[in-house]
Amino acid sequence: MTIAALVGTQWGDEGKGKITDVLASRADLVVRYQGGNNAGHTVVIGDQQYKLHLVPSGILSKGKICLIGNGVVVDPQVLAREINYLRDLGVDTSNLGVSAQAHLIMPYHKALDGLEEESRSLKIGTTGRGIGPAYVDKYKRLGIRLGDLSSKEHFERALDQVLPYKNRILEKIYGQKVFKKEEIMAEYLDYAELIVPLLTDTSLVIDENRLKGKNILLEGAQGTLLDIDHGTYPYVTSSHPTAGGAAAGAGLGPTRIDEVIGIVKAYTTRVGEGPFPTELKDAAGDLIRERGREYGTTTGRPRRCGWLDAVILRYSARINGLTSFALTLLDVLDSMESVKVCTAYDYRGQRLEHFPTDLDVLKECRPIYREFPGWKKGLSSIREYQQLPGEARAYLEFLEEEMGCPVKIVSVGPRRDQTIILGSVF
């Protein structure tokens, strides 16, 4: 029996969906613990590509229990759409459960996400899905939870608490149209028909399965540098993608988590605004973007690309207490003459070994690189670690040393089978 948390170590899009799918074959339960449909997790099985935003990627493995935990914010329209999308592709969704304590994304959250972003002088570049405003209401104790959909009276009472306040903001501050209570009620009570049967005490289900000795995988969304506390604030998301968030967002004690596996992309990407020390604005960055097809799964935006940053990886190892890592998208670097890794920052002539907590410092950090010879060989058909070219293995072994934990999985292509397993998680 193992409980493992899977976390993004960079700015998201590290290939969490793919690695969740790989690990799900040996898990019994897969649980999303934070974020919402700002996430876009891609899984490729054979020729079929699946894009998931809310439903755990474990849904693509037969018979797994998949749970959306209390820490997630749920747009019921998106959930309904995603369930239908999966069913249309012949995926069984009958083992899906959603926490009654998870908060709903409401129409005014989506409206406010856009309006607040427009009115900011410093843009964050949010996904515009209402994620931030929904978490704000949760913490303001003005949120509406999925459990409130169980009865019309509950839902109406919760909506009466918040809607007049939201409408005042929309009307008086932003000069926008207000939302009509009856329209929201009709729309959301319609979703209730689909959602209420899925409502589950997810924490209890996790614990019952733990006691039965089952393997449980906690699937993170976003990444460590998008964490509300530990990320590059304010250019972050509004939840805790880090391992600490896994315990709270799934509803289990931190002592129950045996393994924390960090997902590391072989280079770095970022969507949205904010400092990015190893960003490449030249042909090498374009090459990575094209080879890695680095365009957002959720918004289609081109992702900013750059070299791998070991300062960030050491920071992620610390913040998450990583016990192992999976390296993904290694094949994207196949044609490079040489591959660079940032090992420290130069800040006004001073060498920094640790990721700075002050964004004004980070903005001025220049990467100090170590250069590795490229392997200049296609990796995507390799399935054994020993068959990787020596140059690629040297790159990996260097990262193990930097992060202080072993690599257990190397991904050499988007497909499920394009994977090298070095060590077991379950």
The answer to the question of residue 252 lying near ligand IMO (CB under 6 A) is: no
Q: Of these, 7, 13, 260, 313, which contacts Mg ion (CB under 5 A)?
A: 13
Binding mask 40-59 for ligand IMO (x = CB under 6 A): xx------------------
Confirm if 290 and 323 have CB atoms less than 8 A apart.
no
Q: Which two tokens stand for residue 249?
A: 């967002």
The answer to the question of residue 13 lying near ligand IMO (CB under 6 A) is: yes
Q: Of these, 3, 4, 9, 16, which contacts ligand GDP (CB under 6 A)?
A: 16
If the CB atoms of residues 40 and 69 are measured against Mg ion, the closer one turns out to be 40
Rounded to whole angstroms, the Cα distance separating 177 from 114 reads 14
The residue nearest ligand IMO at its CB is 272
Binds 271: which of ligand GDP, ligand IMO, Mg ion, none (CB < 5-8 Å by kind): ligand IMO
Confirm if 273 and 235 have CB atoms less than 8 A apart.
yes
Closest separation in Å from C-beta 336 to ligand IMO = 23
Q: Of these, 34, 224, 237, 297, which contacts ligand GDP (CB under 6 A)?
A: 297
Q: Of these, 34, 42, 209, 237, which contacts ligand GDP (CB under 6 A)?
A: 42
The answer to the question of residue 15 lying near Mg ion (CB under 5 A) is: no
Catalytic residue among 41, 103, 109, 240: 41
Binds 329: which of ligand IMO, ligand GDP, Mg ion, none (CB < 5-8 Å by kind): ligand GDP
Q: Of these, 58, 69, 71, 132, which contacts ligand IMO (CB under 6 A)?
A: 132
Host H or E run for residue 343: strand 338-347
Q: DSSP of 255-319, one letter per residue?
A: GG--EEEEEEESSEEE-SSS--TTB--SHHHHHHHHHTT-B-TTT-PBPEEE-EEHHHHHHHHHH
Confirm if 228 and 237 have CB atoms less than 8 A apart.
yes
Alpha-carbon distances, residue 244 vs 7, 72, 241, 326 (angstroms): 10, 14, 8, 19
If the CB atoms of residues 223 and 251 are measured against Mg ion, the closer one turns out to be 223
Rounded to whole angstroms, the Cα distance separating 151 from 408 reads 47
The answer to the question of residue 241 lying near ligand GDP (CB under 6 A) is: no
The answer to the question of residue 343 lying near ligand GDP (CB under 6 A) is: no
Interactions with ligand GDP, residue window 21-40 (CB under 6 A):
40
Q: Which two tokens stand for residue 119?
A: 């009115």
Q: Which amino acid appears at position 237 of this protein?
A: T
Sign of the CA dihedral with 116 first, then 118, 119, and 123 last = positive
Confirm if 357 and 325 have CB atoms less than 8 A apart.
no
Burial group, residue 129, by CB count within 10 angstroms (0-12, 13-18, 19+): buried
Interactions with Mg ion, residue window 325-354 (CB under 5 A):
none
Q: Which two tokens stand for residue 385?
A: 């670690």
* Residue 53 annotated as catalytic: no
Binds 15: which of ligand GDP, Mg ion, ligand IMO, none (CB < 5-8 Å by kind): ligand GDP
Rounded to whole angstroms, the Cα distance separating 263 from 55 reads 19
* Residue 103 annotated as catalytic: no
The answer to the question of residue 220 lying near Mg ion (CB under 5 A) is: no
Enumerate binding residues for Mg ion (CB under 5 A). 13, 40, 297
Catalytic residue set? 13, 41
Enumerate binding residues for ligand GDP (CB under 6 A). 8, 12-18, 40-42, 44, 292-293, 297, 328-329, 331-332, 411-414
Enumerate binding residues for ligand IMO (CB under 6 A). 8, 11-13, 38-41, 124-127, 129, 131-132, 221-223, 226, 235, 237-238, 271-272, 297
